Structure 1
Amino acid sequence: MSEPQTSISQPSHDEFAALLEESLTGAALQEGSVVKGTVVSIEKDVAIIDVGLKTEGRVPLKEFGVAGAPSTLSEGDEVDVYLERVENAAGEAVLSREKARREESWVRLEEKYKNNEKVEGVIFNRVKGGFTVDLDGAVAFLPGSQVDIRPIRDVGPLMNTPQPFQILKMDRRRGNIVVSRRSVLEESRAEKRGEIVARLKEGEVVDGVVKNITDYGAFIDLGGIDGLLHVTDMAWRRVNHPSEIVNVGDTVKVQIIRINPDTQRISLGIKQLEADPWEGIAAKYPVDARFTGTVTNITDYGAFVELEPGVEGLIHVSEMSWTKKNIHPGKIISTSQEVEVQVLEVDPDKRRISLGLKQTQENPWVAFAAAYQPGTEIEGQIRNITEFGLFVGLDGGIDGMVHLSDLDWSKSGEEALKDYKKGDTVKAVVLEADSEKERISLGIKQLGADPFEGAASSDKLGKGARVTCEVTAVKDNGIEAKLLDHDLTTFIRRSDLSRDRSEQRPDRFGVGEKFDAVVTQVDQKTRKISASIKALEIAEEKEAVAQYGSTDSGASLGDILGAALNKAKDADEEPAEADAEAAPKAKAAPKAKAKRAAKAAADSESADGASAEE
């Protein structure tokens, strides 16, 4: 018996339409888009959501909550979710509420960023360089410098609290958003500041609270706006640091000194509430009057002395000591030391008083000038030796100077300077004491008489005087020699060494050799004596001719030579009666004289013979 055939029922028109609509609805749900769904149930920490597909999707409840707050989702709620996949390996739809919120937030945030509107967000985490902010699904970065107007140490109270932010930068492709809380605060403060500034007036006295202290002053909160109390406006006296006057949290009464309408900066002052101590300052501190003050500050160029609270004067380094020059003021006085000063100058307009410390002490230069007149002999220790002289320590801690030219009558300054060394005790004569220029001139050579002046004024050293010399140095252009009978020196030029050109050679003389010469010039200004051997030879020749006659008298050359030699022989016998020291010189002189006389006679004879032949 054959089995009956099973008939397949055909769907009705309505059923086919419903199936078609269902198919079209499923196809409309595209992966990667935001779709609407309904919460079917909630299982522990997961919400089961139906988005119209064959199966539901599962979304963690935490994705439905706001950072720092629990989720309020319940069954039947309609929510927007992001469809990542229609079906995974488990046959479920893959949904994400967080991605859906992010997509929604980006659209909304871009619109607000375009219109420069503020957005609300929550700081929920700290990262390197700043914090992360939840902008209703979109995560933004908040740099540390944009958290507040001033750096804050504790950000804890700001965490997980909804607050306004300003979007600074958006890049959807990179998913990058940068926000600022500081700009919102500044804008709000500017509005509030403008209102407060409009109420305040310059010269008005108000109460404020010390909010912050820096090295240069303190910031005072005037009820929503800060004013700067500069350290120089805290007191009329010198204030080294603002903490000497105010502390953080103190309530202080201040006067509004200045309001800048452009920057809305307010300058405050406390000292302006007190009387200005500089009023009538010239009458209180007249020039040349002396007062006692306290050293408040020491610098390289001087020291400040407080004469009264709010009034300070400056002792310049040049007015500290009569004798200590080019020394740091700290080595003369110290901070907090009480000193007596003298008023040198008062300038009320510039609020300056110039003081002097050394003026309250005896001026050692004046005291020395009064005690030691020029010509007075003193004694002191050499403190320093320079290229231009000696510095000798004197009474009162001052120095006198012996110039090179005042060291020795006969030696050059450089040569005489070699005879002294630092620490030697020397005697000197006061030449001049100038207290205004603080200069004392001394002389060492003035302790004795000037040998040149004495010798030059005597007949023994006038022009034409015969002198005996001793060679001290031989040079190419002549010889240096000292005059044996005088403490003087002379220089004989090469051309004055002999009448005979062949004998005008300095090298024929040796150091220590003695010779006779004639003084040819005495210069008082240059203190130089010129002498000549040549002039002596000429003088002796003339003397011989005058004594023995010329060939015109009938005397022959032999007669003249014989007479000269006989006279020289007689002179050789005379030293026996003289002392032993003068004998060699007396013996040598007549012989040389005889030779020169003979030579002169010969020259005269030759000249006469030549005339006769003509």
Structure 2
Amino acid sequence: MGTVSTGSDAQLDRNALAALYEETFRNLEEGTITEGRVVALTKDKVVVDIGYKSEGMIPGDQFSTEELQNLKLGDKLQVYIEECEDADGNLVLSKEKADKMKIWEELEKLYKEEKSIEGKIISRIKGGMMVDIGVKAFLPGSQIDLHPVRDLDGLVGKTFPLKIIKINHRRGNVVVSRRVLLEETRDKKRQTTLANLKEGQLIQGMVKNITDYGAFIDLGGIDGLLHITDMSWGRVGHPSEMFSVGDKVEVTVLKYDRETGRISLGLKQKSADPWTNVAGKYPIGTRVRGRVVSLTDYGAFVELEPGVEGLVHVSEMSWTHEVRHPSRVVAVGDQVEAAVLNVDPASRKISLGMKQTAPNPWDMIETKYPIGTRIEGKVKSLTDFGAFIGLEEGIDGLIHISDMSWTKHIKHPSELFKKGQKVEAIVLRIDKEKERLSLGYKQLTRDPWDDEIPSRYHVGDSVTGKVSKVADFGIFVELEGGVEGLIHISEAGLESQTKLEEKFKLGEEVTAKIIKVDREERKIALSLREHHLDTDRRQMDEYHASQGSLDQSLGRAAKQSRKRQQSDD
């Protein structure tokens, strides 16, 4: 026999159910996340039971294709309650918003715990980069790396560990930093490196930066300087010749100053100094071969072996011609042969000579061109004091201006010669040590001062010639036979204010008196003043002589007149 419910019991059951219903409704607040169970699946929607009075529907486009394929009835989902009842009384749920809220919760947790998160750089924007960390976050340009990044576009698509430095869920703002993590890593490495660092140890590093004076090496959170002078025992023009940024290198710790934190590094110290045995390896007179590594105005540096260079001075490059600049003879990279002239290990200097590997033409000069030899050559250059004549490659002779003419006063060699002209000359003197060869041009002919000039020109004679030069001190007059005589300014017979060039013109014919013939000095001195005085005396004598003849004629005429008068009487 069954139990019959009374009216009061039925009312109690209804109240209990209403209370349970009300409790369920209170626990499900809009804007919260709850767990639900999939109860139905279609192409366009997923139906989820969250224990509410009605089931909720989630649009299918909030799921990826893969998620929809793997989803099964009964699967549990975290969902976001958008509305408990819409206009149609339906429960509105969102998986997409639930996922985002979970992400924000995770981000806030990471921020509080100061942990890192992987982020993918998706685009470059003003002031930095946009990063995907589940939500879009801003990576300022100053927080990308420890140093400024030039190619920001090259970072797009790359993934880096990042640290959240600012977050605002309400505004949807997240700011991240990569630099903070790099600094933390660097500081940890720095402490480890410094704890183990000691002078003399070998340490691995990476070239971080290159300057004109050296390279900065990252030793692991701390930088050391590898100075250019400690890179190689040899010559290094610029650190970039040996290293590029990013190169790995093993170096020696030369000095570590714990107070300043400065670290000096060395590379060449890993090997023995090649100059230790240079004197024994390259004794004076040794023939060597090497590569030209640099040129200066004064010579060429030749590498004999790594770390050992010698200098070929410009004066030691050729016997045969004057080298004005090493580039006329050699170029960087050339292989050359030379002789060791001097070794100074203390100063780390080796003097080399290239010309010493070939015979010196001046050693044979006396045999090839003995004094008195008649030679032929071309005029190479003219100077105020003479003309240089090229006899062969490297052998030049000088015709001094005093050896150009027996009879003429040569003011400049250009009066007789021009560049490139073929001339003959006589070898007068040889100086092997100074490599000088003196030539004579006037010696090609007999000296007219031996007998011809002294016998033709005598003191007291009057001679006529043409003005060949006008100098401050006098006038040169070319006489017969090409001989020049000088009328000194004191013998020109001019008033004190009158200048020679105003009175005498080139080519003008003048007559003067010879007042001196100096055979030793090969000079003829002339005087216009004396010539004029002689002319005046001669004219006076002629005048007096003519006056005497007139008086005699008048006397004879008077005497004859008296005789005629007497006879008439």
With the length of structure 2 as denominator, give the TM-score of the two structures: 0.62
CA distance 1:91–1:321, change in 2 (3 Å): farther
1:465 equivalenced with 2:458 (yes/no): no
Deviations 1:301-356, CA, capped at 9 Å, x for gaps = 5444454565332323332223241243573588574624123241x244332222
Which residue in 2 is equivalent to 1:542? Answer: 537
Measure, in 2, the Cα distance between the counterparts of 1:465 and 1:449.
25
- Contact 1:383-1:392 within 8 A present in 2 as well: yes
The answer to whether 1:424 aligns with 2:421 is yes
Q: Residue type matched to 2:324 in 1?
A: N
Residues 1:299 and 2:295 are matched in the alignment: yes
Q: 1:139 aligns with which of 137, 140, 151?
A: 137
Q: Deviations over 1:267-314 (max 9, x none)?
A: 464x6455433224335444x432323335353554444545653323
Instruction: Say if 2:294 and 2:301, in contact at 8 Å, map to a contact too.
Output: yes
1:174-218 per-position Cα deviation (integer Å, ceiling 9, x unaligned)? 977554435423431431343144224332357x69999999999
Paired residue secondary structure (2:276): coil
Alignment partners' CA distance in 1, 2:81 and 2:351: 84
Distance 2:416 2:435 in 1: 27
Q: Is residue 555 from structure 1 mapped to residue 551 from structure 2 by the alignment?
A: no
Q: Which amino acid aligns with 1:36?
A: T
Letter in 2 for 1:358: K
Percent of aligned pairs sharing the same letter: 33
For residue 357 of structure 1, report the CA deviation from its aligned partner.
2.1
Q: Give the Cα–Cα distance (whole angstroms) in 2 for the partners of residues 63 and 311 of structure 1.
A: 74
| Residues 205-220 of structure 1: pairs in structure 2 closer than 5 A | none
Does the CA contact (< 8 Å) of 1:433 and 1:441 recur in 2?
Answer: yes
Does the 8 Å contact 1:38/1:76 carry over to 2? no
Change (3 A) 1:298 1:423: same
Alignment gaps of 5+ in structure 2: 1-14, 65-69, 496-501, 555-569
User: What aligned pairs does 1:40-439 form with structure 2 within 5 A after superposition?
Assistant: 40=36, 42=38, 58=58, 96-97=97-98, 100=101, 117=114, 119-123=116-120, 125=122, 132-141=130-139, 146=144, 159=159, 164-166=161-163, 179-204=176-201, 256-259=253-256, 267=265, 269=267, 272=269, 274-286=271-283, 288-295=284-291, 297-300=293-296, 302-307=299-304, 310-322=307-319, 323-329=321-327, 331-332=329-330, 335=333, 337=335, 339-346=337-344, 348-365=345-362, 367-368=364-365, 377-385=374-382, 389-395=386-392, 397-404=394-401, 406-410=403-407, 413=410, 417=414, 419-430=416-427, 433-435=430-432, 438-439=435-436
CA–CA distance in 2 between the matches of 1:531 and 1:446?
30
C-alpha change, 1:61 and 1:39, in structure 2 (3 Å) is farther
| Contact 2:312/2:352 (8 A) holds in 1 | yes
- Alignment-derived partner of residue 513 in structure 2: 518
Q: Which residue of 2 aligns with 1:503?
A: none
- Aligned equivalents of 2:327 and 2:453: distance in 1? 55
SS of match in other structure, 2:548: coil
Give how far 1:392 is off.
1.1
Task: Confirm or deny: 8 A CA contact 2:375 2:424 kept in the other structure.
Answer: yes
* Partner secondary structure for residue 191 of structure 2: helix
Shift of 1:393: 1.0
SS at match of 1:278: helix
Q: Is 1:470–1:481's contact at 8 Å kept on the other side of the alignment?
A: yes
Tell me: CA distance 1:468–1:186, structure 2 relative to 1, closer, same or farther (3 Å).
same
Deviation at 1:147?
6.7
Cα separation, partners in 2 of 1:321 and 1:174, compared to 1, 3 Å: farther
- CA–CA distance in structure 2, aligned partners of residues 518 and 240 of structure 1: 76
In structure 1, the gaps of 5 or more residues are 1-12, 30-34, 65-69, 500-505, 562-614
Residues 420/545 of structure 1: CA separation in 2 closer, same or farther (3 Å cut): closer
1:219 touches 1:228 (CA, 8 Å); kept in 2? yes
- In the alignment, is the contact (CA less than 8 A) between 2:282 and 2:340 conserved in 1? no
Partner of residue 442 from structure 2, selected from 440, 445, 469: 445
Cα RMSD, aligned residues only: 6.7
